[in-house]
Amino acid sequence: MNTSHLLGERLVALFLLAVLLLNPPLLLIFDSSNSVAQVPTLYLYLFVVWALIISLLAIVTEFTPSPTDDEPSTDEELQSSGSRDPEGA
């Protein structure tokens, strides 16, 4: 599978997760007068979800191999990268 395609699929999945977690019906569950360490639960939930999404984004982009890590597949790409054919001068 193409690595750029894999990265795109993972980013779309992460976007859909963010939409799901920040959906107003889910936010209404945490919109109450309760608090944790004098922080309203809605604020705490938003901060945790925000930190989770940023962390997952960093993990996905860092650990998905980039297309430049693959070996060049054509002679033109080999020549543009500075590699020389052992027979050529």
Q: What is the pTM of this model?
A: 0.66
C-beta contacts of 46-55 below 8 A and 24+ residues apart: 46/22, 49/18, 49/21, 49/22, 52/21, 53/14, 53/17, 53/18, 53/21
6: left (phi over 0), alpha (psi -120 to 50) or beta: alpha
Residues of the chain with pLDDT under 70: 1, 66-89
Q: What is the pLDDT of residue 6?
A: 86
Domain residue ranges of the chain, discontinuous segments joined by +: 17-65
